[in-house]
Amino acid sequence: MAASLIGGIVSQSSAAAKQLWVFDPNAEKTQSLALQFGINVARHNAELISNSDIVVIAVKPQVLQHVLTPLALEFKAQQPLIISVVAGIPASSIEKWLDGDFAIVRVMPNTPALVGMGACGLYANRRVDKLQHDAASELCNTVGISAWVATENDIDTVTALSGSGPAYFLLFIQGLIEAAESAGLSSDTAKELAIQTAAGAAKLISASDTPLQTLIDNVTSPNGTTEKALQSFKQAKLKTVIADAFEAARTRSEELAKELG
Protein backbone atom coordinates (compact mmCIF):
# COMPACT_ATOMS: atom_id res chain seq x y z
CA MET A 1 0.00 0.00 0.00
CA ALA A 2 2.86 2.39 0.75
CA ALA A 3 4.30 1.69 -2.69
CA SER A 4 0.98 2.48 -4.34
CA LEU A 5 0.78 5.81 -2.47
CA ILE A 6 4.34 6.67 -3.49
CA GLY A 7 3.52 5.79 -7.08
CA GLY A 8 0.40 7.95 -6.97
CA ILE A 9 2.29 10.98 -5.66
CA VAL A 10 5.10 10.64 -8.18
CA SER A 11 2.62 10.23 -11.04
CA GLN A 12 1.09 13.59 -10.12
CA SER A 13 4.45 15.35 -9.90
CA SER A 14 7.83 13.89 -10.76
CA ALA A 15 9.47 16.66 -8.71
CA ALA A 16 7.72 15.30 -5.62
CA ALA A 17 10.00 12.27 -5.62
CA LYS A 18 12.85 14.34 -4.23
CA GLN A 19 10.69 15.25 -1.23
CA LEU A 20 9.78 11.67 -0.37
CA TRP A 21 11.66 9.55 2.15
CA VAL A 22 11.11 5.87 2.82
CA PHE A 23 12.40 3.37 5.35
CA ASP A 24 11.83 -0.35 5.69
CA PRO A 25 13.95 -2.91 7.57
CA ASN A 26 14.16 -4.79 4.28
CA ALA A 27 16.93 -2.89 2.50
CA GLU A 28 16.21 -4.68 -0.77
CA LYS A 29 12.65 -3.36 -0.71
CA THR A 30 13.69 0.24 -0.07
CA GLN A 31 16.34 0.16 -2.77
CA SER A 32 13.79 -1.20 -5.20
CA LEU A 33 11.43 1.69 -4.37
CA ALA A 34 14.27 4.19 -4.76
CA LEU A 35 15.19 2.84 -8.18
CA GLN A 36 11.58 2.70 -9.32
CA PHE A 37 10.46 6.13 -8.14
CA GLY A 38 13.65 8.16 -7.54
CA ILE A 39 12.86 8.76 -3.87
CA ASN A 40 15.17 9.11 -0.87
CA VAL A 41 16.01 6.17 1.37
CA ALA A 42 16.45 6.85 5.08
CA ARG A 43 19.00 4.88 7.09
CA HIS A 44 16.49 4.46 9.91
CA ASN A 45 13.07 5.65 11.01
CA ALA A 46 14.49 8.47 13.13
CA GLU A 47 16.14 10.00 10.06
CA LEU A 48 12.92 9.71 8.08
CA ILE A 49 10.92 11.49 10.80
CA SER A 50 13.45 14.31 11.11
CA ASN A 51 13.09 14.99 7.36
CA SER A 52 9.28 14.86 7.24
CA ASP A 53 6.31 17.15 7.78
CA ILE A 54 4.04 14.18 7.11
CA VAL A 55 4.81 10.63 8.23
CA VAL A 56 2.81 7.80 6.68
CA ILE A 57 2.82 4.66 8.81
CA ALA A 58 2.23 1.51 6.77
CA VAL A 59 3.09 -1.53 8.89
CA LYS A 60 1.24 -4.58 10.18
CA PRO A 61 -0.94 -3.72 13.20
CA GLN A 62 0.73 -6.39 15.30
CA VAL A 63 4.09 -4.57 15.16
CA LEU A 64 2.97 -0.94 15.36
CA GLN A 65 3.59 -0.51 19.10
CA HIS A 66 7.06 -2.03 18.73
CA VAL A 67 7.83 0.36 15.86
CA LEU A 68 6.50 3.55 17.46
CA THR A 69 7.58 3.35 21.10
CA PRO A 70 11.34 3.86 20.48
CA LEU A 71 10.55 6.87 18.25
CA ALA A 72 8.59 8.96 20.76
CA LEU A 73 11.30 11.61 21.16
CA GLU A 74 11.72 12.04 17.41
CA PHE A 75 8.00 12.45 16.88
CA LYS A 76 7.74 14.97 19.72
CA ALA A 77 10.60 17.03 18.31
CA GLN A 78 9.29 17.11 14.73
CA GLN A 79 5.51 17.12 15.41
CA PRO A 80 4.60 15.82 11.93
CA LEU A 81 1.15 15.00 10.69
CA ILE A 82 0.81 11.25 11.24
CA ILE A 83 -1.13 9.38 8.59
CA SER A 84 -1.81 5.81 9.65
CA VAL A 85 -2.92 3.20 7.14
CA VAL A 86 -2.66 0.57 9.86
CA ALA A 87 -5.88 -1.39 10.24
CA GLY A 88 -7.61 -1.57 13.59
CA ILE A 89 -5.36 0.73 15.66
CA PRO A 90 -7.14 3.84 17.05
CA ALA A 91 -5.49 7.25 17.14
CA SER A 92 -5.54 7.17 20.94
CA SER A 93 -3.26 4.12 20.96
CA ILE A 94 -0.78 5.85 18.65
CA GLU A 95 -0.68 8.85 21.00
CA LYS A 96 -0.31 6.57 24.01
CA TRP A 97 2.64 4.72 22.48
CA LEU A 98 4.27 8.03 21.48
CA ASP A 99 3.46 9.55 24.89
CA GLY A 100 2.13 12.80 23.46
CA ASP A 101 -0.53 14.70 21.54
CA PHE A 102 -0.31 14.52 17.75
CA ALA A 103 -2.29 15.39 14.63
CA ILE A 104 -3.37 11.99 13.35
CA VAL A 105 -5.32 10.94 10.28
CA ARG A 106 -6.43 7.34 10.03
CA VAL A 107 -6.85 6.04 6.49
CA MET A 108 -8.61 2.87 5.44
CA PRO A 109 -7.51 2.26 1.84
CA ASN A 110 -8.20 -0.76 -0.33
CA THR A 111 -6.22 -2.83 -2.78
CA PRO A 112 -7.54 -1.21 -6.00
CA ALA A 113 -5.31 1.70 -4.97
CA LEU A 114 -2.56 -0.41 -6.54
CA VAL A 115 -4.10 0.35 -9.95
CA GLY A 116 -5.20 3.91 -9.23
CA MET A 117 -8.80 2.96 -8.41
CA GLY A 118 -8.69 3.03 -4.64
CA ALA A 119 -11.43 4.13 -2.25
CA CYS A 120 -10.05 5.59 0.98
CA GLY A 121 -12.02 6.42 4.10
CA LEU A 122 -10.36 9.03 6.34
CA TYR A 123 -10.81 10.16 9.94
CA ALA A 124 -8.97 13.10 11.53
CA ASN A 125 -8.54 13.68 15.24
CA ARG A 126 -9.19 17.15 16.63
CA ARG A 127 -5.54 18.23 16.33
CA VAL A 128 -5.52 18.04 12.51
CA ASP A 129 -5.69 21.52 10.98
CA LYS A 130 -7.11 22.45 7.56
CA LEU A 131 -3.79 22.33 5.73
CA GLN A 132 -3.09 18.86 7.12
CA HIS A 133 -6.65 17.78 6.32
CA ASP A 134 -6.19 18.89 2.70
CA ALA A 135 -2.78 17.22 2.47
CA ALA A 136 -4.25 13.89 3.58
CA SER A 137 -7.04 14.18 1.01
CA GLU A 138 -4.55 15.03 -1.71
CA LEU A 139 -2.41 12.02 -0.83
CA CYS A 140 -5.33 9.59 -1.03
CA ASN A 141 -6.73 11.15 -4.18
CA THR A 142 -3.53 10.27 -6.04
CA VAL A 143 -4.62 6.61 -5.94
CA GLY A 144 -8.39 6.98 -6.33
CA ILE A 145 -11.03 8.79 -4.29
CA SER A 146 -11.29 9.74 -0.63
CA ALA A 147 -14.19 10.31 1.75
CA TRP A 148 -14.02 11.70 5.29
CA VAL A 149 -16.02 10.20 8.14
CA ALA A 150 -17.25 12.04 11.21
CA THR A 151 -16.23 9.61 13.96
CA GLU A 152 -13.42 7.11 14.39
CA ASN A 153 -15.97 4.34 14.85
CA ASP A 154 -17.05 5.00 11.27
CA ILE A 155 -13.68 3.64 10.13
CA ASP A 156 -14.94 0.19 11.14
CA THR A 157 -17.88 0.65 8.79
CA VAL A 158 -15.58 1.86 6.01
CA THR A 159 -13.45 -1.23 6.59
CA ALA A 160 -16.46 -3.48 6.01
CA LEU A 161 -17.60 -1.45 2.99
CA SER A 162 -14.62 -0.45 0.87
CA GLY A 163 -11.68 -1.89 2.81
CA SER A 164 -12.83 -5.50 2.56
CA GLY A 165 -15.30 -4.82 -0.25
CA PRO A 166 -13.06 -5.68 -3.23
CA ALA A 167 -12.96 -9.29 -2.06
CA TYR A 168 -16.78 -9.47 -2.11
CA PHE A 169 -16.95 -8.38 -5.74
CA LEU A 170 -14.02 -10.61 -6.70
CA LEU A 171 -15.80 -13.59 -5.15
CA PHE A 172 -19.00 -12.81 -7.05
CA ILE A 173 -17.08 -12.47 -10.33
CA GLN A 174 -15.27 -15.72 -9.60
CA GLY A 175 -18.65 -17.40 -9.11
CA LEU A 176 -19.95 -16.04 -12.42
CA ILE A 177 -16.85 -17.25 -14.25
CA GLU A 178 -17.06 -20.72 -12.77
CA ALA A 179 -20.78 -20.97 -13.60
CA ALA A 180 -20.11 -19.94 -17.21
CA GLU A 181 -17.28 -22.46 -17.47
CA SER A 182 -19.57 -25.18 -16.16
CA ALA A 183 -22.09 -24.21 -18.84
CA GLY A 184 -19.46 -24.72 -21.54
CA LEU A 185 -17.69 -21.38 -22.11
CA SER A 186 -13.91 -21.33 -22.25
CA SER A 187 -12.11 -19.93 -19.20
CA ASP A 188 -10.73 -16.99 -21.17
CA THR A 189 -14.10 -16.04 -22.64
CA ALA A 190 -15.89 -16.38 -19.31
CA LYS A 191 -13.30 -14.25 -17.54
CA GLU A 192 -13.25 -11.55 -20.22
CA LEU A 193 -17.03 -11.18 -20.30
CA ALA A 194 -17.43 -11.31 -16.51
CA ILE A 195 -14.80 -8.62 -15.93
CA GLN A 196 -16.23 -6.32 -18.60
CA THR A 197 -19.74 -6.83 -17.23
CA ALA A 198 -18.65 -5.87 -13.72
CA ALA A 199 -16.71 -2.84 -14.98
CA GLY A 200 -19.62 -1.79 -17.18
CA ALA A 201 -22.12 -2.05 -14.34
CA ALA A 202 -19.91 0.09 -12.09
CA LYS A 203 -19.45 2.65 -14.88
CA LEU A 204 -23.20 2.72 -15.51
CA ILE A 205 -23.82 3.59 -11.86
CA SER A 206 -21.12 6.25 -11.66
CA ALA A 207 -22.18 7.92 -14.92
CA SER A 208 -25.83 8.28 -13.95
CA ASP A 209 -27.96 9.84 -11.21
CA THR A 210 -30.59 7.19 -11.84
CA PRO A 211 -31.52 5.23 -8.68
CA LEU A 212 -30.00 1.78 -8.50
CA GLN A 213 -33.39 0.08 -8.43
CA THR A 214 -34.36 1.86 -11.64
CA LEU A 215 -31.14 0.70 -13.31
CA ILE A 216 -31.95 -2.84 -12.21
CA ASP A 217 -35.52 -2.55 -13.50
CA ASN A 218 -34.22 -1.25 -16.85
CA VAL A 219 -32.34 -4.54 -17.37
CA THR A 220 -35.19 -6.72 -16.16
CA SER A 221 -37.83 -7.73 -18.70
CA PRO A 222 -41.02 -9.34 -17.34
CA ASN A 223 -40.63 -13.12 -17.25
CA GLY A 224 -37.20 -12.77 -18.85
CA THR A 225 -33.81 -14.22 -18.02
CA THR A 226 -32.73 -11.43 -15.66
CA GLU A 227 -36.00 -11.62 -13.72
CA LYS A 228 -35.53 -15.34 -13.19
CA ALA A 229 -31.98 -14.80 -11.92
CA LEU A 230 -33.08 -12.01 -9.56
CA GLN A 231 -35.91 -14.19 -8.23
CA SER A 232 -33.34 -16.88 -7.48
CA PHE A 233 -31.20 -14.33 -5.59
CA LYS A 234 -34.26 -13.23 -3.61
CA GLN A 235 -35.17 -16.80 -2.69
CA ALA A 236 -31.60 -17.34 -1.51
CA LYS A 237 -31.91 -14.14 0.58
CA LEU A 238 -28.86 -12.63 -1.08
CA LYS A 239 -29.29 -9.23 0.58
CA THR A 240 -29.41 -10.90 3.99
CA VAL A 241 -26.23 -12.82 3.17
CA ILE A 242 -24.54 -9.55 2.15
CA ALA A 243 -25.71 -7.74 5.29
CA ASP A 244 -24.47 -10.58 7.50
CA ALA A 245 -21.07 -10.60 5.79
CA PHE A 246 -20.82 -6.81 6.12
CA GLU A 247 -21.62 -6.96 9.83
CA ALA A 248 -19.11 -9.77 10.37
CA ALA A 249 -16.36 -7.63 8.83
CA ARG A 250 -17.38 -4.53 10.79
CA THR A 251 -17.49 -6.45 14.07
CA ARG A 252 -14.07 -7.95 13.40
CA SER A 253 -12.66 -4.47 12.78
CA GLU A 254 -13.99 -3.38 16.19
CA GLU A 255 -12.47 -6.49 17.80
CA LEU A 256 -9.07 -5.79 16.25
CA ALA A 257 -9.09 -2.29 17.70
CA LYS A 258 -9.63 -3.74 21.18
CA GLU A 259 -7.13 -6.58 20.75
CA LEU A 260 -4.29 -4.60 19.16
CA GLY A 261 -4.86 -1.08 20.50
> Which pLDDT tens digit goes with each residue over 18-36?
899 999 999 999 999 999 9
Q: How far apart are CA 17 and CA 6, in angstroms?
A: 8
How close are the terminal C-alpha atoms of the chain, in Å? 21
Closest residue by Cα to residue 146 from 122, 116, 114, 115: 122
Same domain, 238 and 205: yes
Instruction: Report pLDDT digits (tens) over 34-93.
Output: 999 999 999 999 999 999 999 999 999 899 999 999 999 999 999 999 999 998 899 999
Residue 103: CATH number of its domain: 3.40.50.720
Same domain, 77 and 170: no
Query: Is residue 114 a part of any domain in this protein?
Result: yes
Same domain, 15 and 140: yes
Per the structure, how many domains does the chain have? Answer: 2
**Is the pLDDT score of 12 beyond 90?**
no
Same domain, 116 and 190: no
Same domain, 151 and 32: yes
Q: Which structural domain range is residue 23 located in?
A: 2-155
**Is the pLDDT score of 17 beyond 80?**
yes
Same domain, 70 and 144: yes
Same domain, 138 and 177: no
Query: Is residue 116 a part of any domain in this protein?
Result: yes
Q: How far apart are CA 202 and CA 196, in angstroms?
A: 10
| Domain end point (choices 118, 136, 155) | 155
Same domain, 19 and 117: yes
Residue 237: HSE in the Cβ half-sphere, 13 Å Cα cutoff: 5
pLDDT at 88: 87
Same domain, 184 and 149: no
Same domain, 176 and 149: no
Average pLDDT, integer, range 203-223: 95
Residue 251: CATH number of its domain: 1.10.3730.10
Q: Which of 18-27, 118-127, 180-189 has the lowest mean pLDDT?
A: 18-27
| Domain end point (choices 155, 179, 206) | 155
Same domain, 16 and 141: yes
Same domain, 174 and 83: no
Query: Is residue 199 a part of any domain in this protein?
Result: yes
Closest residue by Cα to residue 255 from 103, 7, 1, 61: 61
Query: Is residue 160 a part of any domain in this protein?
Result: no
Query: Is residue 133 a part of any domain in this protein?
Result: yes
pLDDT at 1: 82
Residues in the chain, how many? Answer: 261
